[in-house]
Amino acid sequence: MTLVFILFGIFLILGMPVAFAIGIAGFVFFLQQPHLPLTLPVQLILSETQNFNLLAIPMFVFAGNLMNETGITQRLMRFASVLTGHMYGGLAQVSVVLSTLMGGVTGSSIADASMEARILGPTMTEKGYNRGYTAAVHAFSSLITIAIPPGIGLVLYGSIGEVSVGRLFAGGLVPGLLMALFFGITVSITSRKKGYLPEREKRAPLKEILPEFAHSLWAILFPFLLIFALRFGWLVPSEAGAFASVYALVVGIVAYRELKWDNFKRCVKSTIADIGMIMFLIALSALVSYGLKWEMIPQQLTQALLGISSSPSVIFALILVFLLILGMFIDSTVIILLLTAILVPIARQLGLDLVYFGVIMVITCATGLLTPPVGLTMYAVCSIMECSVADFMKEGWPFLVSLIIVIALIVLFPQLILFVPNLLFGT
C-alpha cells in the first residue's frame, strides 16, 4: 500500500480531482497483486454503490436542496435576526444562529458557508464588517452543520463503521449546540473590540419573536422528528433520507406553497451534480479500502499504536492529532471514507464508545476544512467574499481557539456526546 499512498499524494499535489486520485492509486494496488483478478476492482466499485445504507446520502442532499428552494432559508434568517439583533456583532450572530438552524436542512459545511456568504456577506461588508472577519464567521459557524442532524459525515461514518446512525445523530446535538455557544461568545467579544454594534437597541419582544418562530417551525422541527423516528424504529437510516425528501416536498408545496416547477427543476439539477460528486468518490474509495483490509493495515496499526503506549488516553490523543493534521491536507469526506474501517477496530480495542469516537472524529476531520493548504470551506468563502487567505486566518484565529476548546470539552467529558443517545436509545 506504500506505493498507493505515494501516488495518491502525488496526484493531489498535481491538482488531480480527489475521486480520480483515489481510483487510479487504488487500481495500482490490484496491478501489484497478480493473483487478484482485474475484474475485482469493477465489482468492488459496483457493489459499493449498491450499499443500501448509503441511499440516505442522496436523499438527504435532495431534501436539503428542496428546503433551500422553499424559502426556509429566508425564514430562518429572519428568526435568527430577531433573536440576536440586540447583541454586539448582530449580523455575525445571525450567521451563527442560522448555521445552527440550517444544520437540519443542509447537513453540509461548504453548502452552508457558501449560502451565508452570498446572502449575509454583502450586507455585513456594507455595514462596515471586515471582509476577512465576515468570511471567518461564515466558515467557522458552518461547522455546526457537521454535528447537527443530518450531517453527511455522520451518515458515512455510521455506514462504514456499522454504527447506529440514529445514535450518531443524537450524539451530535450537544457538540453542535456547544459550538454555537462558543462561536456566539467569540463573536460578542471580537465585535466589541472591533466596534461592530448591535442592529437594534433593545431585545426583540416576545410578540415579534413568536411569529418568526412559527414561520420557521417546519425547519426547526426536522432534526428532532428525524431522531425520534429513528429512535422508535419507524425508520432506518436509508428510509430517513426518503422521509426527509418527502417532508421537504410537503413543506414546500403545502405549508409554504413556494416550491414551483422551475424551483424543483433547479433543485433536481443541483442535486444530481452534488450526488454525482459524492457517490463517485465513495465508489472509487472502495478500491483503497479493499487494499487496506487485504494487507491487514488496521491490525498492524493497532499493534503499532499499542506498542507506543499502553494508555488508551495517549493513543486516543495521538489519533486526534493525526486526524487534525491530516484534515489540513485531505478533505474530511475522503478521510472518513478511507480511515473509518481502520480506526473503528482500534477505538473498539481501546474501549471507546463508537458513537463518542465517531462524533469526535467527524468534527476533528472537518476542522481541516478551515485551514490551509486544502481547506475547501475556507477557499469557498474567501472566493465569495473576495478576501485573502491571510486575512481570513488573521481574523479567524479566535474562532479556531473556540473550536479547539469545544473539541477538548467533548473529548474530556464523553457524556456531552453520549447523554442524549443514551437517554433516547438506551445504553
Please report whether residue 25 resides in a domain: no
pLDDT tier at 374 (50, 70, 90 boundaries)?
Answer: low
Q: How many CA atoms lie within 13 A of 36 on its CB side?
A: 17
pLDDT tier at 420 (50, 70, 90 boundaries)?
Answer: very high
Domain with 126, as residue range(s), is: 53-279+296-425
Rounded Cα gap, residues 353 and 312, in angstroms? 12
What pLDDT shows up at residue 181?
A: 94
What pLDDT shows up at residue 178?
A: 95
Query: Are 362 and 102 contacting, i.e. CB atoms less than 8 angstroms apart?
Result: no
Q: Which residue has the higher pLDDT, 409 or 127?
A: 409
3-class DSSP state of 37: coil
The mean pLDDT of 102-128, rounded to a whole number, is 76
Kindly tell me if the per-residue pLDDT of 277 is higher than 80: no
pLDDT tens digit sequence for 296-331: 777 777 777 777 877 888 889 889 988 888 887 777
Q: How many CA atoms lie within 13 A of 322 on its CB side?
A: 11
18-32, 170-184, 267-281: the lowest-pLDDT one: 267-281
Please report whether residue 290 resides in a domain: no
Query: Are 1 and 29 contacting, i.e. CB atoms less than 8 angstroms apart?
Result: yes
Please report whether residue 118 resides in a domain: yes
Please report whether residue 189 resides in a domain: yes
What is the DSSP-derived secondary structure letter of residue 370? G
Please report whether residue 318 resides in a domain: yes
Q: Which residue has the higher pLDDT, 287 or 236?
A: 287
pTM for the full predicted model: 0.82
Please report whether residue 241 resides in a domain: yes
Q: Using alpha carbons, select from 213, 208, 203, 209 the residue that is nearest to residue 87.
A: 203
Kindly tell me if the per-residue pLDDT of 104 is higher than 60: no
Kindly tell me if the per-residue pLDDT of 107 is higher than 60: no
Please report whether residue 4 resides in a domain: no
pLDDT tier at 406 (50, 70, 90 boundaries)?
Answer: very high
What pLDDT shows up at residue 375?
A: 75
Q: CB count, 10 Å around CB of 413?
A: 12
Kindly tell me if the per-residue pLDDT of 361 is higher than 90: yes
The mean pLDDT of 163-185, rounded to a whole number, is 92
Please report whether residue 32 resides in a domain: no
Rounded Cα gap, residues 58 and 37, in angstroms? 31
What's the structural domain count of the chain? 1
